[in-house]
């Protein structure tokens, strides 16, 4: 028997009077709850895996979108409702694999939230092709020059520029290899977002890097925390960040069980992958991921990987 939810069933679940009223409260005057419901139904029609997700997780994804005032639509790129595989434990203590829908902010969504912070006039990001003319100048007078070639070529770099209301500009440049290292450091490296939307995820990565040193509003900070929670596979923290405690309590018991974490397994990552994940870690959540810590515990105290981990943790703590 298929666990797939039809569009009619999903619509019926999302539009009960109680759920619609709750969603309207989260939307306030900024968003239209009916539009969010339509976005979810359109995404479910396009994505067979999303139809395998528990309808309650789709509902929570809409609440997250409403909180951040971002449209969960591939058309705008502000955010996405993405299916992820998760694990839960039944009453007999047996683990099961399930599909769960989660809201993730897109790079255009982060740009929108950055502009809402009050300090930033504009923020934008672009890929750099191998045939483009690109100059990066550091020092006392930093500057960036990018002249795209007439024809697209293989992307080798990504950059982001933040423009303050005072006119001051700041930029950040990342090579494709660096972006890939950050991807490999994430437990979600094989997620649909990275596999199907690498360019979008790369742009979001460089935006997150530049905004670490910029004055950001609370919505941006929380959106970045959601992004990190999903990247590290921490569904419990994801729900804590989007503040859905009351709503979670009203959902089915099976979805409550999805908050359980699967039992720890022995690390199978190689030393090469361990080095990549240490180097590419964007935050302490990625650096202290269970797989990374398990691999480190198997190494002697003087191993260079331990020293590299300590050095990276110190750098991230300062940031």
3 state DSSP class of 316: helix
150 and 192 share one domain = yes
pTM: 0.66
What is the total count of domains within the chain?
3
- Per-residue pLDDT at 265: 41
Residue 207 placed within a domain? yes
Mean pLDDT of 235-246: 58
Predicted confidence at residue 258, as pLDDT, reads: 42
Do the domain assignments include residue 38?
Answer: yes
Confidence check: pLDDT of 61 > 50? yes
Q: Quick one: pLDDT at residue 242?
A: 62
State residue 3's pLDDT score. Answer: 62
The answer to whether residues 25 and 97 belong to one domain is yes
Whether residues 11 and 100 fall in one domain: yes
The domain in which residue 69 lies consists of 7-105+222-257
**CA–CA distances in Å: residue 238 to residues 18, 22, 128, 253, 294:** 23, 19, 32, 18, 23
Q: Looking at residue 23, what DSSP letter applies?
A: H
- If asked whether residues 18 and 85 sit together in one domain, one would say yes
255 pLDDT higher than 80 = no
13 and 59 housed in the same domain: yes
The rounded mean pLDDT for the chain is 80
pLDDT in the model for residue 309: 80
pLDDT level of residue 243 (50, 70, 90 thresholds): low
Local confidence band at 175 (pLDDT 50, 70, 90 cut-offs): very high
Choice between 4 and 24, residue whose per-residue pLDDT is larger: 24
Please compute the mean of the pLDDT values over residues 74-85 and round it to a whole number: 84
Asked if residue 112 is part of any domain, the answer here is: no
* 204 falls within a domain: yes
Q: Is residue 266 part of a domain?
A: no
Helix count (H) and strand count (E) of the chain? Answer: 16, 7
From the number of C-beta atoms within 10 Å of its C-beta (0-12, 13-18, 19+), residue 204 rates as buried
- Tell whether 194 is covered by a domain: yes
Task: State whether 32 and 77 are in the same domain.
Answer: yes
The answer to whether 78 touches 105, Cβ cutoff 8 Å, is yes
Confidence of residue 260 (pLDDT cuts 50, 70, 90): very low
In the structure, what pLDDT confidence band is assigned to residue 208 with cuts at 50, 70 and 90?
A: confident
- If we measure between CA atoms, which residue out of 80, 68, 82, 75 comes closest to residue 106? 80
Q: Which of 182, 197, 215 is the last residue of a domain?
A: 215
Cα separation, 165 vs 167, whole angstroms: 5
Q: Are residues 89 and 168 in the same domain?
A: no
Residues 148 and 279 in one domain: no
How far is 176 from 153, CA to CA, in rounded Å?
13
Does any domain span residue 110? no
Given a contact cutoff of 8 angstroms between Cβ atoms, the answer to whether 165 and 116 are in contact is no
Q: Is residue 66 part of a domain?
A: yes
For residues 28 and 79, state if they share a domain: yes
* Residue 124 sits in the same domain as residue 206: yes
Q: Report which secondary-structure segment, H or E, holds 218.
A: helix 218-231
Assign 264 a pLDDT band (cuts: 50, 70, 90): very low
For residue 70, the tally of other CB atoms under 10 A from its CB is 26
Residues 151 and 233 in one domain: no
Question: For 55-64, 124-133, 272-281, which range has the lowest pLDDT when averaged over its residues?
Answer: 272-281
What is residue 262's predicted lDDT score, i.e. its pLDDT? 38
What whole-number percentage of the chain has pLDDT above 70?
A: 80
Q: What is the pLDDT of residue 127?
A: 96
Residues 34 and 53 in one domain: yes
């Amino acid at each position: 028997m298929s666990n797939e939810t039809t569009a009619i069933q999903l619509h019926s679940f999302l539009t009960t009077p109680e759920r619609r009223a709750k969603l309207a409260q989260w939307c306030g005057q900024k968003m239209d709850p009916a539009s969010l419901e339509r976005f979810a139904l359109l995404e479910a029609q396009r994505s067979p895996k999303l139809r395998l997700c528990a309808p309650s997780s789709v509902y929570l994804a809409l609440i997250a979108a409403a909180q951040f005032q971002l449209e969960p639509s591939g058309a705008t790129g502000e955010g996405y409702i993405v299916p992820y595989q998760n694990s839960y434990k039944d009453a007999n203590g047996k683990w099961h694999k399930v599909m769960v829908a989660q809201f993730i902010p897109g790079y255009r969504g982060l740009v929108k939230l950055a502009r809402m912070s009050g300090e930033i006039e504009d923020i934008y990001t672009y890929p750099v092709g191998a045939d483009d003319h690109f100059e990066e100048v550091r020092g006392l007078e930093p500057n960036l020059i990018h002249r795209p070639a007439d024809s697209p070529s293989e992307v080798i770099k990504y950059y982001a520029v933040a423009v303050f209301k005072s006119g001051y500009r700041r930029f950040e440049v990342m090579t494709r290899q660096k972006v890939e290292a950050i991807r490999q450091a994430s437990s979600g490296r094989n997620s649909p977002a990275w596999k199907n939307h690498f360019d979008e995820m790369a742009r979001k990565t460089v935006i997150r890097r530049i905004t670490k040193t910029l004055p950001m509003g609370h919505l941006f900070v929380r959106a970045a925390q959601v992004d990190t929670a999903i990247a590290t596979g921490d569904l419990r923290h994801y729900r804590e960040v989007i503040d859905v405690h009351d709503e979670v309590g009203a959902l089915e018991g099976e979805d409550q069980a999805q908050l359980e974490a699967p039992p720890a397994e022995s690390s199978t990552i190689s030393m090469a992958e361990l080095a990549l994940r240490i180097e590419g870690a964007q935050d302490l959540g990625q650096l202290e991921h269970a797989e990374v810590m398990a691999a480190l515990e198997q190494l002697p105290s003087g191993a260079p990987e331990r020293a590299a981990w300590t050095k990276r943790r110190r750098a991230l703590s300062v940031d």
